[in-house]
A and B are shown apart, each in its own frame.
Chain A
Amino acid sequence: MPIFTFREPGWSPLQEMERLQRRMGRLFEETFGPGLALWRPGVYPLVNISEDHDYLYVRAELPGINPQELEITVHEGNLILRGERKIPAEEKTINYHRRERESGYFRRVVGLPTPVNPDKVEASYKDGILTVKLGKPEEIKPRVIKVQSS
């Protein structure tokens, strides 16, 4: 039996990799307790994904960026975040004691755990946190099923 089949519609190796890595992360967390095993993908920015009944929320800490220069794309179950963090040059006369803040560009693909409605995506930026709110399609929203008694 082949390990991967490419016939499935909407199958994306990237997403599959992310899913697998997440599962591994969860396994770690269950074994060693929380705190030791956050799954870190090695790509900036790190994101936290949460959900409620109607939306998925993807958040990232991006302090001091210009939100106008962020490029946010939803494509085939992936959220793509691209942008640049610029740290304006200070005057030439200064001398540094510490320089820990980093600048540079980033491009991240985040595999979304559920399907989303691409027409219902909003992004906001506040206090250095980017929040992308993605609407879930009606058909995947949880529904309460009543038990009928005869």
Chain B
Amino acid sequence: MTEKELKPKAKEEVPAKGERVRPGRVFLPAVDIFETPEALTLVADMPGVPNDKVILDIKDNHLIISGEIIPPMAAGETMLNQEYYTGDFQREFHLGAIIDQARIEATMKDGVLRLLLPKAEKAKPRKIEVKVG
């Protein structure tokens, strides 16, 4: 694999739906989603979100991930030059498979959320034999 230089990207804001109680911006985290026959894995970049401020909400096959950041600037600091905005993260997904909610595993490290969503038995793919009649 050739070395690649990272390019900066502006964070994408969540399209406004309802009004939020907590003020501030909300961004869409960049995600990787991949699938094996047994599980879906979701990896999301949520810089600034501490481990205990991630909220997962799953109803049937609808998943909402959100994370609240700690304001990065301490009291008494003034901004001199701003290149990026800070704010909470939120993103919604419709999962293609039925998830076994009891076996969901979530880990958060260095601002990266990793979510393992095991598929429920009935959602696992089955090979269908074509009968030659």
A38 engages B30 (CB within 8 Å): no
Q: Which residues of A contact B46 (CB under 8 A)?
A: 63, 128
Bound Cα distance from A10 to B109, whole angstroms: 41
Q: Contact: B79 with A85, CB < 8 Å? A: no
Whether, in the assembled complex, B7 has its beta carbon less than 8 Å from a beta carbon of chain A, the answer is yes
Say if the beta carbon of B3 comes within 8 Å of chain A.
yes
Residues of B within 8 A of A106 (CB): 5-6
Interface of chain B residues 1 through 21 with chain A (CB within 8 A): 3-8, 10
Chain A minimum-CB-distance residue to B25: A35
Q: Which residues of A contact B31 (CB under 8 A)?
A: 98, 100-101
Chain B nearest CB from A22 CB (Å) reads: 6
Find out whether the CB atom of A128 lies under 8 angstroms from the CB atom of B47.
yes
- Size band of the interface chain B makes with A: 35 or more
Return the CB mask of B71-92 against A: 1 if under 8 Å, else 0.
Answer: 0111011111111111000000
For residue B43, which residues in chain A have a CB less than 8 angstroms away from its CB?
101
Closest residue of chain B to A41 (Cβ to Cβ) is B83
Query: Which residues of chain A have C-beta atoms less than 8 A from B10's C-beta?
Result: 38, 40
Quick check: A43 and B8 within 8 Å, CB to CB? Answer: yes
Q: Tell me if A105 and B6 are in contact (CB < 8 A).
A: yes
B80: chain A residues at CB < 8 Å are: 49-51, 56, 113
Contact status of A64 and B109, CB under 8 A, knowing A50-B80, A127-B48: yes
Indicate if the CB atoms of B85 and A59 lie closer than 8 Å.
no
Q: In the complex the two chains form, what is the Cα distance from A95 to B50 in whole Å?
A: 29
Q: Say whether B48 contacts A50, CB under 8 Å.
A: no
Q: Are B83 and A50 in contact (CB under 8 A)?
A: no
Given contacts A48-B82, A59-B72, 17 further A-B contacts (CB under 8 A): A40-B10, A42-B8, A44-B5, A44-B8, A45-B6, A48-B81, A48-B84, A52-B78, A61-B111, A64-B111, A64-B112, A94-B34, A97-B40, A102-B7, A127-B49, A127-B50, A129-B47
Q: Give the B-binding residues of A (Cβ under 8 A).
A: 22, 38-53, 56-57, 59, 61-65, 85, 87, 90-91, 93-106, 113, 125, 127-129, 131
